[in-house]
Amino acid sequence: MMNSSVDTEQVNLMNRLGIEYMSSDPSVAESIFNKSLVYSDSLQFKHGKADARMYLAEIEIRRGNYSRAVFYLNESMVLYNELNDKNGLGLCLNYMATVHNRQGNFDVALSYASHSLQVFRELDDLEGMAKAYNLIGVIYDNMKEFDKAILNYQKVLEIYSTTNNQEGLGRVYINLAIVYGRIGRTEEAIRLLEKSIKIGEDENVPFLMAAGYGNLAVIYSHQEDYQKALEYHLLSYDIKKQSGDPHSLVISEINIAYNYFYLKQNANALQYILRAIKTGHEIGLKLEMIEAYDLLSKIYEQQGDFRSAFMAKKEQVLYMDSLYGEKQQQRIAEAQQEIERQQLEAENKVLRQQNTIESLQNENEKFLRTFLIIGLAFALLMIFLLWFQVYDRRKKNRTLGELNSQMSNVNKQLKKSELSLKESNFAKDQFFSIISHDLRNPLASMVSFVRILKRDYDVLSEVERNSLIDEFSSVVGRTSDLLENLLLWSRSQTGKLAFKPTSVRAEALVQENMRIVESNAKSKGIDLKFVCEGEDMWVYADINMMNTVMRNLLSNAVKFTLRNGVVQVGFYRGEDECSFFVKDSGIGIEPSKISQLFNLGQQHVRAGTDNEKGSGLGLILCKEFVEKNNGRIWVESVAGEGATFYFTLPAFTDSSLEDS
């Protein structure tokens, strides 16, 4: 019989309706699933049969009828395997793990749960993986392997955080809280339960609120705060009454009765325990009835009603005998069902193999050979065409890549040449600018001095002649310094300046250059001081370049320091370098001008405190020479308060000469 899409959709609707009744009225749900099973069987709709049996198994698990649950699950798994429905198979394996976990067969439960996790991983089903990890955590919790339980719950948290499944997060918070409560991490357990309750309120999930309050009550009951535990049990109970799950209500009524009993409120305890016993009888509970009759016996005993206490204890014993007898029968039935399932699978496997052999024998061998030859020839032709196309494309891509690489290299060379040419033209322009301006002016001054002396020598007084000669000497000295800087700079730009680093004593470098500028300093009444912070040390640098650097910095310091000022020169040791400094008490540098000091295109040129002239080229040379010697140079200044120039040189080591 062929099943239409309308008929199969009707089966699916019946199964969904049964799920809606599963918590509130399991009997109605069971009836709906059985009708769905019959209808699916008449339609030969395997998927509907597999789903209905799996949901019936869930009802039996809730009732504690595990042998019946295993029977349904085995039938469902056979159908899901035939349909190659991995999702359905993963869910059945999860239910199987739940059954064995409740029966205390933890190793078997772990095996089923791990298999379920593997199936959901292959499907990349995050929700399924979360359910499997959660169940593995529950099993480890029951095995008292709490670290492993926490690890698996944390994996569930990661998945639900990624998928933003708030209800799932709330459920795993509760499971984690139970573990934390057992290992003494009570405060963390309470925080997690409060978070779960908050999610239940925000997402309108009564289960989370009821479970959260119930577990908070358990924690406070363990702490013997029975009044607070009772308050939370009552909150949980009120929420559960709205969901209509009688099994859950019975558990809450027993817990409430226990707390009233501990608070010596036997009348209230009796009211709730009798209510739990009445509902437990109606829905066929056994394990909970054992606990309920035990508490009822204690209540009657505390009231002095020993006859009623004896009758309650007798009922407890009867339930215990019934439960353990059923468990033994369940184990036998489960073993028999497992044997039957394995036999059925073996028979199906043999049957499938026989059908395959018969099908192969009935095929036309001649047609098969012809088809294979044509197919092989066509495949070879396609392979050749594909190979040729790939080969041709690779060849063209290789050629194009080589051309692109050559063009890229040419472009880089052109850009490099263009940049070099621009730098060369810029350096040339700067060079001629300095010659035309800074060199022409002092030369013109010298010519004027010579003319004055020649023309007015006899009429000038000795004081006036000496003054002109001193001024003439000053101009000649500045011009000589300028020419020397120009020569050094031009040689450095053309690469003709020799670079010969060697070991240099820091103190000697400072002292020798101080002696050179000492006369200039004395002429302005400037106190030139040597400052050494620590012991002397050896640096590795070109001595000629460093003399130029130190001489320029000292000359600038004297030039821009007011008369009777102070210039301090020195150095201090570092771990692998030496830091030199030249500090003056002069006019300082404005912050906006500091960035221009070492830039060739933005020389900052100004007269000294006695109107001394300069070109701005000295600091540019200092920067080039210091960096050439693997050092750094910088300045710190406050306008009107002086400036301090620093530069560093690498310390001399045994490996310095080898590196050079």
Q: What is the pLDDT of residues 345-387, one digit of tens each?
A: 555 565 556 656 666 666 677 777 787 888 888 888 889 888 8
Q: Which two tokens stand for residue 409?
A: 């290299």
Torsion angles phi and psi, residue 606, rounded to 5: -150, 160
pLDDT for the residue numbered 135: 93
- What mean pLDDT is reported for the chain? 83
CB distance 82 to 47 below 8 Å? no
* Band (155; pLDDT cuts 50, 70, 90): very high
Say how far apart CA 481 and CA 494 lie, in whole Å. Answer: 20
Is the pLDDT reported for residue 119 higher than 90? yes
For the record, the structure tokens of 370 come out as 């012809």
Element spanning 527, H or E: strand 527-533
Q: CA-to-CA distance for 500 and 206, rounded, in angstroms?
A: 85
Task: Give pLDDT tens digits for 21-67.
Answer: 877 788 898 999 999 889 888 888 999 999 999 999 998 888 778 88
The residue with greater pLDDT, 177 or 617, is 177
Q: Considering the entire predicted model, what is its pTM? A: 0.47
Among 520, 519, 531, smallest CA distance to 608 is for 520
Residue pair 598/620 in contact (Cβ under 8 Å)? The answer is yes
Band the pLDDT of 199: cuts 50, 70, 90. very high
In the prediction, which pLDDT does 326 show?
Answer: 53
CB 555 within 8 A of CB 516: no
Q: Cα 357 to chain center, whole Å?
A: 56
Inter-residue contact 168 to 153 (CB < 8 Å)? no
Angle between helix 46-63 and 86-102 (nearest 10): 20
Q: What is the 3-state secondary structure (H, E, C) of 228-281?
A: HHHHHHHHHHHHHHHHCCHHHHHHHHHHHHHHHHHCCCHHHHHHHHHHHHHHHH
pLDDT per residue as tens digits for the range 244-300: 677 788 889 999 999 999 999 999 999 999 999 998 888 777 778 899 999 999 999
Mean pLDDT of 215-243: 90
Of 586, 569, 535, nearest in space to 646 by CA: 569
Region 546-571: what's the mean pLDDT? Answer: 92
Residues 331, 64, 216, CA angle at the centre, nearest 5°? 130
Cβ pair 488, 615 in contact under 8 A: no
Percent of residues, the chain, with pLDDT higher than 90 = 41
Which CATH number, 3.30.565.10, 3.40.50.10440, 1.10.30.50, 1.10.10.10, labels domain 498-659?
Answer: 3.30.565.10
DSSP H or E stretch at residue 125: none
Residue 600 in this model has a pLDDT that exceeds 90 = no
Confidence of residue 471 (pLDDT cuts 50, 70, 90): low
- Predicted confidence at residue 241, as pLDDT, reads 85
Distances (CA, A) of 140 to 70, 136, 146, 147: 22, 6, 6, 8
Query: Which structure tokens are listed for 260?
Result: 């009233």
- Say what the pLDDT of residue 19 is: 86
Query: Which helix or strand (DSSP H or E) is residue 539 part of?
Result: strand 538-541
Contacts of 259 (CB under 8 A, 6+ apart): 217, 221, 226, 229, 230, 233
Q: Which residue has the tokens 């495949």?
A: 379
pLDDT one-digit tens code per residue, 394-417 = 888 888 888 888 888 877 887 876
- Please tell me the total number of residues recorded for the chain in this structure: 660
Amino acid occupying residue 407: M
Domain boundaries 10-84, CATH class: mainly alpha
Token reading at 478 = 């500045």
